[in-house]
A and B are shown apart, each in its own frame.
Chain A
Amino acid sequence: MDRENKTLTVPKTKEHPLRKTWRSIDYSWYVLRKNNLTLAGFFMIVFLLFLVILSPVIVIYDPYETDSDNVLSPPSWRHLFGTDQWGRDIFSRTIVATQLDLFIALTTVLASASVGAIIGAVSGYFGGKVDLLMQRVTDILLAFPSLILAMGIMAALGASFWNLMLTQFVIRIAIFIRVARGEMISQKENEYVEAAVCSGNSTSRIIIRHLLPNCITPVAVMTTLNFGYAILVTATLSFIGLGLNPPTAEWGLMISDGASYLVLGAWWLSIPGAFIVLAVLGFNLLGDGIRDLAG
């Protein structure tokens, strides 16, 4: 048999590197389009991100500037969502709050997901005593309902932006550790790990380059599902006075302020409330979609 016959030839087409990226975007869009709820969630998040990006243009009032002539006014053309008890423009405050809440949710969830995934992966890979110790620490964190734990930590540390970031990071890290560990335990038994050993890889390279990319799917699903929850926790903590401090434009604080003036109207409460609903619902629907896609 001559060698030419044995070579499987495919017609040569050189593909532009961007084309592959475009194909994956195209594919994601195709999947999104087939699932109405996921698409709805996607648009809610896109809408909020759009507002955040446009904020330098659409925030025309200083969100902290008081106006004693215009207190608790209902929506008008001058103040699109009305003003609060100090005469501050609710529209501007809501948009600024969107920036803040999304920032807190995205950074803390991504931070705890990446740190948790690495800790969980190492714990699952080595097993034994390392695993035992790490999992008992995780057990302690998981033993508390996360909102109670968050309230406890915030009450102990005091209400401030950085303490809130830390709390959000801590209450969520345990579940990421667990998810990554479980996946790692099942992935490390695969034969490609042995093959990687034979190819001369070091242990750290096997974990980072070979195993982590294969463990990432469930972690990514958990991450999207947790964005909404993180927003809710930020708002809840601020509402009960354990999150951010009062002058800050934040959804929970705005609801808390508005709740005191509920007898005079629901505007100052329902607008930030609607934004919370939009964000939480959006992230959850999107997360569900991604979970279905991954599973």
Chain B
Amino acid sequence: MSTILEVKGLKKYFIQKKTGFSWLKGGKPYQALYLRAVDNVNFDIKKGEALGLVGESGCGKTTTAKCIIRLIDPTDGQIIFKGEDIASLPKKELKRIRKHMQYVFQDPVGSLNPRMNVKNLLAEPLRNFGILKDKNEVEERVINLLETVGLSEEHMNKLPRELSGGMKQRVGIARAIAANPEFLILDEPTASLDVSVGAKILNELVDLQKRLNMTYLMIAHDLSVIRYVCNRVAVMYLGQIVETGDVEEIFSDPLHPYTEALLSAVPIPDPWVKIKRIDLKGETPSPINLPRGCRLQNRCPYVFSACTSDEPELVEVKNGHSVACHLKSKS
């Protein structure tokens, strides 16, 4: 299996200007603060694989994904897609890349233009990427796409507001797979849907991946979703990946304290099972003002001296299972 995407040292810092009155005393007009949304993220995805990116809200999952498809320009790092570094490609050449890489948005309501009907929404990638020109061919392909995602010809002339949430998300997925991309980024595709509709969509995504031989990068904060769809998983905390490995490996033997806590928070649908909850005390530090050393130090139950001085690096401890923790990488 060849590597389709490799992310090396990806960083995205947002500049936040803090203005004050210090310029009256001869100081700078503003102080530049860096919000480190994504800070040195490394991972790779092999062809045909599904990588899950998990983490709590605001940890930089979506920013990472949007950097990869270049909706956000990364501050630093390399994004090697099919052997080509796309991190610094000029805007004009991105169209060529996006033909092979598509994005399914989290919010199906906001990501569909309310004034365009389903047919036009789906015809856009087909026409823009120069796949089909002829009107009848486009229409045929649109019907085909709708049937692929479990809708039908009847929905072709509907506006987004005439569709339900699940149908909208299906249209979003259909739009993403319209140009036959090799790589699909799914940004919490089921987060805004209810459980039964979400489950249906997940089934279809698994099915689609097999049929069209696509590679997925799936973002989720729901671990059961990741377990169902993905082969490998990367756990993110405050802009960094703290643990990666095969799904079953991570679920059965989590190494990083954060992953442990995350897994212990998954509800088990059995009232008699006693869950050993690992509570992370305290607040997530602000990504503007990060502590020296490990980012989990103020919440970690196993914290020791090295945690407050050195930043842990992602080290492979078992076959394909890497963790960024002083405690676990030493032993």
A residues adjacent to B (C-beta < 8 A)? 1, 6-10, 12, 190-192, 194-201, 210, 213-214
Within 8 A of A (CB), among B132-177: 147, 150-155, 167, 172, 175-176
CA A196 – CA B153 in complex, angstroms?
23
CB pair A1–B71 under 8 Å, yes or no, is no
CB pair B175–A199 under 8 Å, yes or no, is yes
Q: Is B249 an interface residue (CB 8 A)?
A: no
B149 CB to nearest A CB, Å: 9
Given the contacts A198-B71, A199-B175, A192 and B151 also touching, CB distance less than 8 Å:
no
Kindly list chain A residues whose C-beta atoms are within 8 Å of the C-beta of B203: 1, 6
CA A36 – CA B311 in complex, angstroms?
72
CB pair A10–B110 under 8 Å, yes or no, is no
> Can you name the residue of chain B whose Cβ is closest to the Cβ of A205?
B128
Within 8 A of A (CB), among B50-73: 66, 69, 71
Kindly list chain B residues whose C-beta atoms are within 8 Å of the C-beta of A10: 152, 154-155
> Can you name the residue of chain A whose Cβ is closest to the Cβ of B167?
A8
CB pair B102–A198 under 8 Å, yes or no, is yes
CA A199 – CA B125 in complex, angstroms?
5
Number of interface residues of B (CB under 8 A): 36
Kindly list chain B residues whose C-beta atoms are within 8 Å of the C-beta of A12: 153-154
27 intermolecular pairs with C-beta atoms under 8 Å apart: A6-B203, A6-B204, A7-B150, A7-B151, A7-B152, A8-B167, A10-B154, A12-B153, A12-B154, A190-B110, A191-B105, A191-B110, A192-B112, A192-B114, A195-B113, A196-B113, A196-B124, A197-B71, A198-B71, A198-B98, A199-B98, A199-B124, A199-B128, A200-B98, A200-B99, A200-B129, A213-B115
CB pair B110–A201 under 8 Å, yes or no, is no
- Inter-chain CB contacts under 8 Å: number: 73
Kindly list chain B residues whose C-beta atoms are within 8 Å of the C-beta of A190: 110
B residues adjacent to A (C-beta < 8 A)? 66, 69, 71, 95, 98-99, 102-103, 105, 107, 110-116, 124-125, 128-129, 147, 150-155, 167, 172, 175-176, 179, 200, 203-204
B42 CB to nearest A CB, Å: 24
CB pair A214–B115 under 8 Å, yes or no, is yes
A225 CB to nearest B CB, Å: 22
* List of 8 A-B pairs having minimum Cβ-Cβ separation, nearest first: A200-B128, A191-B110, A10-B154, A213-B115, A191-B111, A192-B113, A199-B125, A199-B124
CB pair A6–B105 under 8 Å, yes or no, is no
Q: A192, A194, A199, A200: which has the most chain B beta carbons within 10 Å?
A: A199
CB pair A8–B152 under 8 Å, yes or no, is yes
A67 CB to nearest B CB, Å: 57
Kindly list chain A residues whose C-beta atoms are within 8 Å of the C-beta of B69: 198
A189 CB to nearest B CB, Å: 10
CA A10 – CA B71 in complex, angstroms?
37
Kindly list chain B residues whose C-beta atoms are within 8 Å of the C-beta of A199: 98, 124-125, 128, 175
Neighbour of A200 across the interface among B125, B152, B204, CB < 8 A: B125
> Can you name the residue of chain A whose Cβ is closest to the Cβ of B105?
A191
CB pair B152–A194 under 8 Å, yes or no, is no
CA A1 – CA B147 in complex, angstroms?
16
Q: A8, A12, A200: which has the most chain B beta carbons within 10 Å?
A: A200
Neighbour of A214 across the interface among B66, B111, B113, B129, CB < 8 A: B113
Kindly list chain A residues whose C-beta atoms are within 8 Å of the C-beta of B125: 199-200
B47 CB to nearest A CB, Å: 21
> Can you name the residue of chain A whose Cβ is closest to the Cβ of B99?
A200
Given contacts A12-B154, A195-B113, A214-B114, 19 further A-B contacts (CB under 8 A): A1-B203, A6-B200, A6-B203, A9-B152, A9-B154, A10-B152, A10-B155, A12-B153, A191-B107, A191-B110, A192-B110, A194-B103, A195-B105, A195-B111, A195-B175, A198-B176, A199-B98, A199-B124, A200-B99
